[in-house]
Amino acid sequence: MAWNEPGGNSNNQDPWGGKRKGGDRKGPPDLDEAFRKLQESLNGLFGGGKKRSGDGGGSGGGSGKGGSYGLLGIGLVALLAIWLYNAIYVVDEQEQAVILRFGKYYETVGSGLNIYFPPFDRKYLENVTRERAYSKQGQMLTEDENIVEVPLTVQYRITNLQDFVLNVDQPEVSLQHATESALRHVVGSTAMDQVLTEGRELMASEIKERLQRFLDTYRTGITVTQVNVQSAAAPREVQEAFDDVIRAREDEQRSRNQAETYANGVIPEARGQAQRIVEDANGYRDEVVSRAKGEADRFTKLVAEYRKAPEVTRERLYLDTMQEVFSNTSKVLVTGDKGQNNLLYLPLDKMIESSRSGSTSSGSGGSTVIADPGSRAADAQQQRETRTRETR
């Protein structure tokens, strides 16, 4: 017999052998009741209201609708909180922000607390005061067709954030490409000696100027502040040969400096000698001119005296001439009158030699006394004059 047929145990037992009302039941719980209790709990939490008696089936539908509204409200509040968290932002003193509204530039925002409206707006925040650096190193071909490795460092900063964000897709990549182009152009128009030695500063200035011109043409919003060209070097395969070239260049410079030092010492000395010769020549000229003028003046006065006393003047001229002639010879022969064979020899050379040896011995500390050569010459001159007068 079925459990729910007339006359059966339908009033007190269910199909699982338990009582329907009252008493202890055995078997699985009522699922509808469990769902109903869970719904009432959710309604109480989310403001759905309590279940009223006598509402019948309609009360269950109203409580379910109220619970759905509560869940929707909580979701909206959570979404609003997330949106506000993303929409409100702070810009530091060193930063700027560019706002795009519907994909079009709207404004550039400075430091402070700001808000934008995603997803309608997009925000690009960058530091516009910090110095950034980019390093580059590669093998370059110089003007004289030599290969050198040139390391380079570029320092830059963002000066126009709008151009930096909107005009170029990847402005820093464009900066790298422009740097390589400028470096190759400058190194390719410079000789290897200038690249390896003193030409680095000039190269850095030219690279900076050309690179900034490229960036201004692209409108990247980047300003190059400094370009540093570090010490260039030859490739490793030919480094020894380049070192030999550098040493030879240093030897050349050292030899040139030594030659310049010698020239700086010799040229002033030669100029001094030339000036001395010129001064000597001028002095000799003045001396000759003065002596000639003196002789001419003396001759003029002598003519006047000759006219007054011819004999005395002739005698004086003769004696002066003989004195001048005898003073320049070391031997003198004096002859007598005609018919006499007397010959007097004056050993003036021996007298001069003895006077010289006597002066030497006296200078060495000896006690030998030598007569004054001047007095001897005067005595000899007097004797010659006496003998000349006797002879005449």
User: Do 117 and 146 have their domain in common?
Assistant: no
Same domain, 215 and 136: yes
Domain with 178 in it: 131-233
Between 325 and 300, where is the model more confident? Answer: 300
CA distance 87 to 83: 6
Verify that 329 and 351 share a domain, yes or no: yes
The percentage of the chain sitting over the pLDDT mark of 90, rounded to a whole number, equals 17
Q: Say if residue 352's pLDDT is above 60.
A: yes
What strand order describes the sheet that includes 121-127? 104-109, 95-101, 121-127
Say whether pLDDT at 3 is over 70: no
Q: Examine the domain organization and report whether 38 and 115 are in the same domain.
A: yes
348 three-class SS: helix
Please state, as a whole number, how many other Cβ atoms lie within 10 Å of the Cβ of residue 155.
Answer: 14
Residue finishing a domain among 177, 199, 233: 233
Q: Is residue 213 part of a domain?
A: yes
Number of domains in the chain: 3
> How many Å apart are CA 190 and CA 188, to the nearest integer?
6
Of 43-57, 125-139, 155-169, 211-225, minimum mean pLDDT range: 43-57
What are φ and ψ of residue 284, in 5° steps? -60, -40
> 390 or 93, which is more confident?
93
* Burial of 144: CB neighbours in 10 Å, binned 0-12, 13-18, 19+: exposed
Q: Verify that 141 and 228 share a domain, yes or no.
A: yes
What tens digit of pLDDT does each residue of 151-199 get?
Answer: 889 999 999 988 898 888 889 999 999 999 999 999 888 887 788 777 7
387 band by pLDDT with thresholds 50, 70 and 90: low
For residue 326, being part of any structural domain is answered with yes
121 and 159, same domain (yes or no) = no
Judged on CB neighbours under 10 Å (0-12, 13-18, 19+), 211 is buried
In sequence order, what are the beta bridge partners of 127? 95
> Do 166 and 218 sit in the same domain of this protein?
yes
Arithmetic mean of pLDDT, 355-363: 61
Residue 27 lies in a domain: no
Q: Do both 185 and 136 map to the same domain?
A: yes
Q: CA distances (Å), 247 to each of 191, 197, 231, 252, 378, in order?
A: 18, 12, 17, 9, 77
Is residue 357's pLDDT more than 80? no
Q: Which of 77, 111, 127 is the last residue of a domain?
A: 127
The verdict on 117 and 139 lying in the same domain is no
pLDDT of residue 374: 47
> What pLDDT was estimated at residue 43?
63
Residue 8 has pLDDT above 60, yes or no: no
Q: Does the residue 24 lie in any domain?
A: no
Residue 249 domain flag: no
Q: Do 115 and 157 belong together in one domain?
A: no
| Shared domain check, 163 and 183 | yes
298 found inside a domain: no
216 and 144 fall within a common domain: yes
> Is residue 271 a part of any domain in this protein?
no
Is residue 101 very low, low, confident or very high in pLDDT (cuts 50, 70, 90)? confident
Q: What is the pLDDT of residues 130-157, one digit of tens each?
A: 899 988 888 888 888 888 888 889 999 9
Residue 120: predicted pLDDT: 85
Does some domain include residue 25?
no
Structural domain ending residue among the three candidates 127, 143, 170:
127
- Answer positive or negative: Cα dihedral of 231, 233, 236, 241: negative
User: What's 103-171 look like in SS3?
Assistant: CEEEEEECCEEEECCCCCEEEEEEECCCCEEEEEEEEEECCCCCEEEEEEEEEEEECCHHHHHHCCCCH
CATH number for the domain harbouring residue 212 = 3.30.479.30
